[in-house]
Amino acid sequence: MAVRRLRNIKSAREARELGWALIQRGDFEGARVAYERAQAIGEKTFGPDHPEVARDLSNLGGVLHALGDLAAARAACERALTIDERAHGPDHPDVARDLNGLGLELQDLGDLAGAHAAYLRALAIDERACGPDHHYVANDLNNLGAVLHSMGDLASARAAFERAVAIDERAYGPNQPAVARDLDNLGLVLLCLGDLAGAQAAYLRALAIDERAYGPDHHYVSNDHNNLGLVLHSMGDLAAARSAFERALTLDERAYGPDHPDVATVAKNLGGVLQDLGDAAGARAACERTQAIDERTCGSDHPSVATDVDK
């Protein structure tokens, strides 16, 4: 019995490691299969309410989010949170991890208040458990900054992102992918605040870091190109913005397939540039594609669909 249990534990660990490796290659469907296998082994070995199962559910929620299945991702994160609160109490770092995952789903499903509450609670837990300068805290600040941005509190969002950059530069050095994520987030707030030069500098630095770390065709690089396209559009460089969005769209379609929410986001951005370039037919096609993806993913009543229609 003990030998079988040890074998199961090893198999679950190998499935998790495979899932992580597949994520790094952009194979989210393969990662989903791997994490579901780890979850099934964990439930068989430890029972359905064990923290190991919560960890697998948290991993699975992240992959389901990447695949655009937000409802299933939310369910996985909520179940992980329930398990970890019961096992560890309400103030454990694993609970903070679950809250961050749940907050991401709530944010993308349009529940900004729920996401904000989840991120604030995660930040408080990690600051108490790990100290104010830990890289977990930087992750919490990035999530909090994102929802503050969506809620229109740009000054607070900028402060959160600047603090995240400072923490991760101290933790990892200036040229690590974690810093690129922080710079992407900071750049978007700077763009919305009208600091186009600051935003462009942040995005170019993030792009250089990610291309060096992952190569030019990685889905993280796609995000950098999309962000750079936004600032180039605002600066009036429409040709360069179009090129950046088209590059991002190609990479996202390759990583996620043609019907993923990230594809919808880039298509919408490309449509805006095409409209300004006078390509009305191209702009209309891009916006119709965005609307169709958003309706499939979020439902016809989601705020993003209303925005698509307005376009």
pLDDT tens for 108-127 read 999 999 999 999 999 999 99
pLDDT mean across residues, the chain: 92
Q: What is the pLDDT of residues 158-169, one digit of tens each?
A: 999 999 999 999
Cα separation, 148 vs 237, in Å, equals: 29
Helices 93-108, 112-130: inter-axial angle, 10-degree rounding: 160
The answer, yes or no, to whether residue 310 has pLDDT greater than 60, is: no
Helices 177-192, 196-214: inter-axial angle, 10-degree rounding: 160
The pLDDT of residue 299: 54
> What is the band of 306 on the pLDDT scale with cuts at 50, 70, 90?
very low
The pLDDT of residue 305: 47
Q: What is the pLDDT of residues 191-205, one digit of tens each?
A: 999 999 999 999 999
> What is the band of 37 on the pLDDT scale with cuts at 50, 70, 90?
very high
Prediction pTM value: 0.77
Cα separation, 145 vs 218, in Å, equals: 24
Q: What is the pLDDT of residues 71-88, one digit of tens each?
A: 999 999 999 999 999 999
From the number of C-beta atoms within 10 Å of its C-beta (0-12, 13-18, 19+), residue 165 rates as: buried
Residue 214 CB partners (closer than 8 Å, separation 6+): 177, 220, 221
The answer, yes or no, to whether residue 7 has pLDDT greater than 70, is: yes
